[in-house]
Amino acid sequence: MMRVKGKRVINSEDAAEFANTLRGQFIISQALSIATRVLLKYEDKKSALYDMRMAEPSNRMDMETLLDAFPLYRVMEEELWKEMKDDE
């Protein structure tokens, strides 16, 4: 049963509780990071995935704004790439 709680629409209390955990915020961050990269490829005329019918520039920009609130994956991803370069 979906219900409104404050300014949030909640379909599952368990999912809402999970979203408030560190792990839940990491997963949200990862999903936003991956989705923004894919949507950018749809917008890039040089990309093999270029397809403006699939691109959602305003949604991508909103996702990038949300990444400011959920930065965990992006921060860890940058650190991972740095470590991989250091190992080379």
Report pLDDT digits (tens) over 41-74: 999 989 898 888 888 899 999 999 999 999 999 8
For residue 14, what pLDDT is reported? Answer: 85
| Least confident stretch, 5-14, 18-27, 37-46 | 5-14
Residue 52 domain-assigned? yes
Mean pLDDT over the full length of the chain? 86
Residue 6 has pLDDT above 80, yes or no: no
Range of the domain at 30: 24-87
Name the domain count of the chain. 1
In Å, how far are 45, 64, 66, 73, 85 from 69, measured between CA atoms?
30, 9, 5, 11, 27
In a domain, 71, yes or no: yes
Is residue 48, in this structure, part of any structural domain at all? yes
The pTM (predicted TM-score) of the whole model is 0.73
- The verdict on residue 45 lying in a domain is yes
Q: Is 70 a member of any domain?
A: yes
What are the beta bridge partners of residue 84? none
CB proximity list for 29: less than 8 A, separation 6 or greater: 67, 70, 71, 72, 73, 74
